[in-house]
Structure 1
Amino acid sequence: MDSSENGPSADSVGDTEFVQVVVRAASGRSDEAARLVGTHGGDVRTRHENLVQARVPASAVEALGVSPAVEFVRRPREAVATDVTSEGLSNMDVGTVHGTNYTGENTTVAVVDLGFDVTNPEIADQVVDWRNFSSPESPRTMANESGLHGTGTAELVAETAPNASIIAVKVNYPLELYDAIDWIKNNTSADVVSMSVGWYNVGPLDGSAEMNREIRTSVESGTPWVVSAGNEADGNHWNGTWSNPDGDQWMNFRDSDERMNVTPAGGSGTLRTAISWNDWPVSHEDYDAILVNESGDVVDFSVTVQNGTQQPTEYIYHYATQNVYLKLRNDDANESADFDVFFRGSADPEYDTAARSVTIPATGPRVITVGAAYYGTNELEDFSSRGPTIDGRRKPDVVAPDGVSSTAYPDGFYGTSAATPHTAGVAALMLDADPTLTPAEVKERLRSSAVPLRGTEPNNRTGYGLVDADGAIRSVEERYPDRVTYSGSVSETDGDPAVNDPVRAYALDSSRSHSNATDAAGNFSIDASGGNDSYVLGYYQGDSGSLLDDGSPDLQALDLVNGSSSTDLGDVTLPQAHVLNVTVVDETGTPVPNADVEVADFVHEGGDHAYVSHSAETDADGKLVVGAAAGIELSGDVRVMAAPPDGSSRFAGANYSDVIDVQSDTNVTLTLNGKGATVSGRVTDADENPSADDGILVASDATGYLEVVTTDKTGRFTATGVEEGDPYSVGYFQNWSSDTAFPEDGIADIYTLARVNVTGDVDVGTRTVPNASLLNVRIVDESGDPVTDAPSRWTTTVWD
C-alpha cells in the first residue's frame, strides 16, 4: 500500500467499509486490473492509461495489491485549495477596460475547483454549464463540499469579466482532473481555464509530471490555462539534499540535527506531510519518513518500498497531541536525493524553504502561473509560492491581487486562489478584444504588460509583475494599429431616443466583435479593430429579459460597413415592427421545449448581405419567448433556425426556415426530425397479454450508446434516434420505473428480446417474455460465511 499521499475518503454500506484507491496496473493489464476491482466487490470510478480509480471494500485492498496484474495500490491524491465587488479590479485597472466595452463578451471561462454553489446569485447568471467529476454517477450535482472555494473563484472571474460565460468543473483527485481536461477540450467552447488548486506527490516538480502533460494537450488545442502558484512559501515547504556526515542512515536537516520539529503551533493538530525526491517516474532509491516524539519513540511513519515500481514519495497523516519530529531514513538508497517536503494542516516546521515551492501543475511550462499580492499595498504575500522550478525555470509568471472582498469570503479572499481567477478574467477580456490570440500570445502579453512591483522583474517572486488589464488590452490592440470608430444615433419607431440599448459590430471574416450602448440621446460610438474585415452593425432592444411589445424592433441590422475606415451612420429611425411567432415541433407535430432558436435579421448593401441574430429557447409549448410575451418583434428580411435542446440525442440536427419578409404579424413552425433509425416492436407475456409500462433498453454492443423507452398499454415500443451501422441488443426490464419493479409474479424480470443489426428502421415483431422461475443467489467467503452488501450483476443472453 503506497502511503505517499492523503488518506482515502471512506464510507460504509452495512458493516462493510469502502475506501477510494488508485490501482496501477502492470503493463498491458489495465482491463484485468479493472475486472479485479469488481471481483473484489468494488466499482471503477474512472480510468486513465494504466491507472484505475476505484471504490473498494477496505478488506480487499491487500488482495488487490498481491495480484500479478497490479503493480501497486495507493490512496488517491487529493487536491488542495490554494486559498488562504473585488477591490483588486482597480489594482489591475480593469475599470478602464470595462469602460472601453471589453467585458468578456463571447468568451467562456472554465473554472476548475473543489466545489461550487452554482445557484449563488453572484455567478448564477453567468454559469452556462457544470460537471461534477467527483460524482460520476451524478455529474450534474454540485454540492459545495469544500466550503465556498470554487464559488469564490468563479465570483472573481465573473467580476473581472462580467459578460463572460462560466463553466464550473468540480474535481478532487488527479484522475478526475484528467477526465475534466478531456471533457473541457472535447465538449465545451472554453476559451480560458482557471484553476486554483494544486497537488503534492503527483510527479516531478520540473514541469514534466503527467498532470502537466495532460494540461499541455488542452493548451496545444488552443485554450490557455491560468493556474495558482500555491501558498507554500511561508513555512509550508522545505527543500534539501541528502546529508549524512556520520553515516548512520539518518538525514541531517541542518548541521548535526537529524530531526525537524513539526509540532503544531498550538501544541496539537493535524499534520499532513508530503515527501518526494528527484527519482521520477519510479524509484530504486528507498527512503522512509518517520515521525517521533520528544523521547524518540515512533508515533507514525511512511515506509513505502521503492524497488523500481513505486514512485519516490512518502506521506504521513497524523493527529499530534505532543511534540513531534520528522526524520528521514536511508533504507536502501545511494544518498543523492534532493528532497521537497510540503506541509499542510497545522504543522509548524522548524526549517522551511521559500524557493521552488510552486506546486503541480503550476510548475508546467505551458500554464500561466499566478502568485498573490495583497490588494491594499501591492506587496507580495509572504506565503505566495516562489520559483524557480527544480529545472531552473522562472515562476510565477505574474502576480494578481488577493485579500479582496466577495460574497463567498466577505472578510477577504486570500491566497493565490484569489489571484488566479482575477488573471483568468483579464485573459477573457483580452480574448474579447481579439479572439484569435493563441495561448502563448495571451501569456506573453500578460507578462510583457505587467507592472513591476520590486524593480527587479522578472524574478522568482513576482514573475513579470502585477497583472495590468489596461496594458494587456493595449498590447492586444497594437496588433491592429488602424483602429476605426462606428457611430450614429438610434431612435425608436415613435421617434423617441433608443436609450441604453446595445449596438454591436460583428466582423464578417473573423470572430471579432465590439459593442457599446446608446446614451440618453440615443447616440452610440464603437471602437473596432479595423483591418480588412467588413462589419455588420446590429441594434438590440434592451436585454432578453425585458423586451417590450411596443411596435419597435427587438433586433435590427443597421448597416454593412468597411473595416478599413470609420463610419458615421447618422440618425437611424427604427421601422415599424411586427410579431414573429416561432414554434418548434418534432416530426409528429409535438412541441419541442428548450429547443435553441436563432432569429437572424438581414441587411443588404449592393450585392452583399449580412445579418445579426438573437438566440433564445422555446418554452414548454415549443414557442419562442424572448421577452414578456411569446414571439419577437422584427421588420424586413429574417431567417429562423431551430436546433435540438442541449444534450438531446433525439434529433438529427438543426432546421432552417426560408427568408421571411416580415411586414405583418407572422407565424412560422420549424420541425426537428428524428436522428438515425428506429427500433420498434411489441412485447407480451407467455399468455399473450401485452407487457405495458415495462422498460426497453436498446444498447449498442460497439459503443455503449443506448436508448431507453417504455412500452405502451398495447406492449408496443419505439426507440428513436438509434445510430445506424452497429449491432444492438434489445433488453426487457419488468416494471422498470415503478416502485414495484421486478415483482415476484412468475414472469422474467429481465430478458434479452433480440439482437439486431441496425442499417435502417427495424421492427423486431412481437416478442414473448417467458414464464420464469426464481433464482436465489447466496454469496459467501472462502470459509462459507455469508457476505453482506456484496454487489451483484445479472445478465441474460439471446442467441441469434
Structure 2
Amino acid sequence: MPGDIGKLAVEFANDINLDEAAHSLVVEFSEGCRTEFVPSVPMVGDDQKVDKKARETHYVRHVGADRLHQEGITGAGVTVAILDTGVWSSGGGKNWLRKDYNGEERVLRTFDAIRNAEGDADDAKDKNGHGSHVTSIILSSRKAQGSGNVPVWNGVAPGVSLVSIKAFDEEGQGTYADVIRGIDWVVQNKDLYGIRVLNLSLSAPPRSHYWDDPLNQAVMEAWRAGVVVVASAGNTGPEPMTVGVPGNVPYVITVGAITNNRTPFDASDDTITSFSAAGPTYEGFVKPEVLAPGGRLLGIMNKGNHIPKEHKNFHDGDSYYYMSGTSQSAAVVSGITALLLQAEPALTPDQVKCKLMSSARPATTPDGALALSIFQQGAGLVNAAAALQSANYSCGNRGLN
C-alpha cells in the first residue's frame, strides 16, 4: 500500500556476503564499438608523485577512463553528489577523497539527511564504510604505479568536486524519508554547488508502480532539474524483474555489474555477476541500461568503520578493501558521467544517457550472437573513451518525455 512505502528500509546495492567465485555465464564483450584514444597532451597531474603503497584499481583502465585522463579530462569543474553513509573525514585516507589531484579541498558541502543538517566535510562522517568505498571508486586522487610502469589514478574521475549526503547510519540502515530528504536537498542546491551527477548506490524492493513510489518521484524531479541520476540495478539477480527502486525508473541510468574474474588484463573471461538484477521492470521497461565493473572492486575505507571491522577478509593491505555489488558498478558510471560533462558541459541528462548506451559493448558469443538478453545487460559494457567520441545525442529516453 502507498501508505506503507515511507516506512520501508532502503538497502545498499552491494552484498557483503557475496562469494565472487559464484559467477554465471562466461561471455565476450564485442569489440565492434571499441575506439582507440591516442593521447595528444601530457596527463594532467603528471607532476604528482606516485604513492609507493598505492595499488592499481584496474577498473579505471577497464572502462577506458585512463585514456581520458591522458587527455586532461578528469571531471574537473563537475560536482558529483553521493548519497550514502557519508565520507571518510579523518585519518590518512581522507586526503584521497577530500582532496583532488592538485591537493585542493574538493568537498563543497555535506548534508546529513538523518539529522537534516548541513555542514562541512567533518559533519558527514562515514561510520559504516560503504560511502567511502563508493566515493573512492568515483573520485580517489591516489596515484599508483600501474602495469607497464604507467602511473594511473585509483578513481574514475579524480578531479571532480564532491557533495556528500549522509542518509544511512553506522549499520547501513536508512529510511525512505532520509533518502528523499537527501535527494530534495540536492535539487534545491544543485545550482549553488554545480551538482551535475547524483550517485544512488542503493536499492529497495518495488511496492507500487514506479510513478507512485515517493522515492522515485524525488529521483524523477532530480532528473527533470538537469541532474544525471545514476542508480544501482540491485543485487537481487539473476532472475528477471528483480531491479529495485530507484533503478526501476525508466528515465535514469541504471547499472548492472560484471566481473573480470580476477584477470584484469584478460577480457575474454569477463562475466556478468550472478547477483546483478535483471529487467524488465514491472511496467515492461528495459533495465539495466548498461553494465560496468562491479565484482571485487578495490576501494578505500577507514579500518575503524563498521564494514571493515565486521568483514576483515575484505582487507587487502593499507586502506584498501574489496567489495562487490551494483553499488560499485553504479559508482564507475557516475565517474564516467563526470568525465563526459567536463568535456561537454552542455550535455543534458538524456544526452549523457544516449552517449553511454550508444557506445557500450554488448556481450556476445564467439559466433557474434548476443550472449545475454537486453534485460540482463542493456546496451552492454560502458567505455568512457567511446562514449566521449560518440556522436549520438538523441537516443536517451526517446518517446518517454
TM-score in terms of structure 2 length: 0.67
2:77 alignment counterpart: 106
Give the whole-Å Cα distance in 1 for the aligned partners of 2:5 and 2:362: 44
Give the whole-Å Cα distance in 2 for the aligned partners of 1:104 and 1:144: 23
Return the letter of the residue paired with 2:111. Answer: R
Give the whole-Å Cα distance in 1 for the aligned partners of 2:70 and 2:118: 41
1:182 alignment counterpart: 184
1:415 alignment counterpart: 325
1:213 alignment counterpart: 217
Match among 177, 188, 196 for residue 191 of structure 1: 196
Is the 8 Å Cα contact of residues 87 and 125 (structure 2) preserved in structure 1?
yes
2:348 alignment counterpart: 438
Return the letter of the residue paired with 1:400. Answer: A
Deviation at 1:205, TM superposition (A): 5.1
Deviation at 1:411, TM superposition (A): 4.3
1:362 alignment counterpart: 247
The answer on 1:82 being equivalent to 2:10 is: no
The CA deviation string for residues 507-553 of structure 1, in whole angstroms up to 9 with x for no partner, is xxxxxxxxxxxxxxxxxxxxxxxxxxxxxxxxxxxxxxxxxxxxxxx
Is the 8 Å Cα contact of residues 298 and 321 (structure 2) preserved in structure 1?
yes
Deviation at 1:87, TM superposition (A): 1.5
Is the 8 Å Cα contact of residues 6 and 175 (structure 2) preserved in structure 1?
no
Return the letter of the residue paired with 1:173. Answer: T
SS in 1 for 2:270: coil
The answer on 1:150 being equivalent to 2:134 is: no
2:111 alignment counterpart: 131
Give the whole-Å Cα distance in 1 for the aligned partners of 2:156 and 2:325: 17
SS in 1 for 2:110: strand
The CA deviation string for residues 538-590 of structure 1, in whole angstroms up to 9 with x for no partner, is xxxxxxxxxxxxxxxxxxxxxxxxxxxxxxxxxxxxxxxxxxxxxxxxxxxxx
Cα pair distance change 1:380/1:432, threshold 3 Å = same
**Any unmatched runs of 5+ in structure 2?**
16-55, 100-105, 140-154, 168-173, 262-268, 302-313, 315-319, 394-401
Matches within 5 A, 1:151-300: 151-158=132-139, 159-171=155-167, 172-188=174-190, 189-200=194-205, 203-204=207-208, 206=210, 208-233=212-237
Return the letter of the residue paired with 2:88. Answer: D
Give the whole-Å Cα distance in 2 for the aligned partners of 1:115 and 1:102: 26
Give the whole-Å Cα distance in 2 for the aligned partners of 1:102 and 1:207: 36
Deviation at 1:110, TM superposition (A): 0.4
Cα pair distance change 1:228/1:207, threshold 3 Å = farther
1:452 alignment counterpart: 362
Cα pair distance change 1:415/1:74, threshold 3 Å = closer
Match among 122, 136, 153 for residue 96 of structure 2: 122
1:635 alignment counterpart: none
SS in 1 for 2:293: strand
Is the 8 Å Cα contact of residues 107 and 164 (structure 1) preserved in structure 2?
yes
Give the whole-Å Cα distance in 2 for the aligned partners of 1:88 and 1:442: 20
Give the whole-Å Cα distance in 1 for the aligned partners of 2:117 and 2:343: 39
Give the whole-Å Cα distance in 2 for the aligned partners of 1:131 and 1:443: 27
Matches within 5 A, 1:495-644: none
Give the whole-Å Cα distance in 1 for the aligned partners of 2:384 and 2:343: 12
SS in 2 for 1:123: helix
Cα pair distance change 1:73/1:155, threshold 3 Å = closer
1:426 alignment counterpart: 336
Return the letter of the residue paired with 1:200. Answer: P
1:706 alignment counterpart: none
Is the 8 Å Cα contact of residues 196 and 228 (structure 2) preserved in structure 1?
yes
Cα pair distance change 1:391/1:86, threshold 3 Å = same
Cα pair distance change 1:471/1:208, threshold 3 Å = farther
Deviation at 1:357, TM superposition (A): 0.5
Deviation at 1:139, TM superposition (A): 5.7
Cα pair distance change 1:99/1:362, threshold 3 Å = same
The CA deviation string for residues 206-242 of structure 1, in whole angstroms up to 9 with x for no partner, is 45422222211111111110000000015xxxxxxxx
2:21 alignment counterpart: none
Cα pair distance change 1:92/1:136, threshold 3 Å = same
Is the 8 Å Cα contact of residues 378 and 401 (structure 1) preserved in structure 2?
no
Is the 8 Å Cα contact of residues 5 and 176 (structure 2) preserved in structure 1?
no
Runs of 4+ in 1 over 6 A off after TM superposition: 72-75
Cα pair distance change 1:208/1:394, threshold 3 Å = farther
Return the letter of the residue paired with 1:422. Answer: V
Match among 349, 353, 373 for residue 258 of structure 2: 373
**Any unmatched runs of 5+ in structure 1?**
5-23, 25-71, 235-353, 480-800
Aligned sequence identity (%): 26
Return the letter of the residue paired with 1:192. Answer: V
Bigger relative contact order (CA 8 A; separation at least 6): 2
Return the letter of the residue paired with 1:167. Answer: V
Which structure has the larger Rg?
1
Give the whole-Å Cα distance in 2 for the aligned partners of 1:207 and 1:424: 24
Give the whole-Å Cα distance in 2 for the aligned partners of 1:178 and 1:166: 19
1:391 alignment counterpart: 283
Give the whole-Å Cα distance in 1 for the aligned partners of 2:133 and 2:188: 26
Give the whole-Å Cα distance in 2 for the aligned partners of 1:74 and 1:436: 36
Cα pair distance change 1:151/1:450, threshold 3 Å = same
Cα pair distance change 1:475/1:200, threshold 3 Å = same
Deviation at 1:178, TM superposition (A): 2.0
Deviation at 1:177, TM superposition (A): 2.0
SS in 1 for 2:73: coil
The CA deviation string for residues 408-465 of structure 1, in whole angstroms up to 9 with x for no partner, is 2634221001101100110011001101001000001100000112342760111110
More displaced, 84-93 or 157-166?
A: 84-93
Give the whole-Å Cα distance in 2 for the aligned partners of 1:148 and 1:355: 30
SS in 2 for 1:111: strand
SS in 1 for 2:297: coil
Matches within 5 A, 1:455-474: 455-456=369-370, 459-474=374-389
Give the whole-Å Cα distance in 1 for the aligned partners of 2:97 and 2:86: 14
Cα pair distance change 1:404/1:98, threshold 3 Å = same
SS in 1 for 2:363: coil
Is the 8 Å Cα contact of residues 81 and 114 (structure 1) preserved in structure 2?
no
Give the whole-Å Cα distance in 2 for the aligned partners of 1:392 and 1:445: 23
Deviation at 1:143, TM superposition (A): 3.4
Matches within 5 A, 1:690-729: none
The CA deviation string for residues 746-782 of structure 1, in whole angstroms up to 9 with x for no partner, is xxxxxxxxxxxxxxxxxxxxxxxxxxxxxxxxxxxxx
Give the whole-Å Cα distance in 1 for the aligned partners of 2:86 and 2:378: 29
Return the letter of the residue paired with 1:467. Answer: V
Give the whole-Å Cα distance in 1 for the aligned partners of 2:5 and 2:345: 43
Cα pair distance change 1:132/1:420, threshold 3 Å = same
Is the 8 Å Cα contact of residues 134 and 299 (structure 2) preserved in structure 1?
no
Return the letter of the residue paired with 1:435. Answer: P
Deviation at 1:114, TM superposition (A): 2.8
Give the whole-Å Cα distance in 1 for the aligned partners of 2:324 and 2:84: 16
Give the whole-Å Cα distance in 1 for the aligned partners of 2:200 and 2:156: 15
Return the letter of the residue paired with 1:142. Answer: A
Is the 8 Å Cα contact of residues 232 and 247 (structure 2) preserved in structure 1?
yes
Is the 8 Å Cα contact of residues 181 and 214 (structure 1) preserved in structure 2?
yes
Cα pair distance change 1:207/1:461, threshold 3 Å = farther
Cα pair distance change 1:102/1:139, threshold 3 Å = closer
Cα pair distance change 1:100/1:458, threshold 3 Å = farther
Give the whole-Å Cα distance in 2 for the aligned partners of 1:426 and 1:405: 17
TM-score in terms of structure 1 length: 0.34
Is the 8 Å Cα contact of residues 363 and 380 (structure 2) preserved in structure 1?
yes
SS in 2 for 1:187: helix
Give the whole-Å Cα distance in 1 for the aligned partners of 2:358 and 2:161: 27
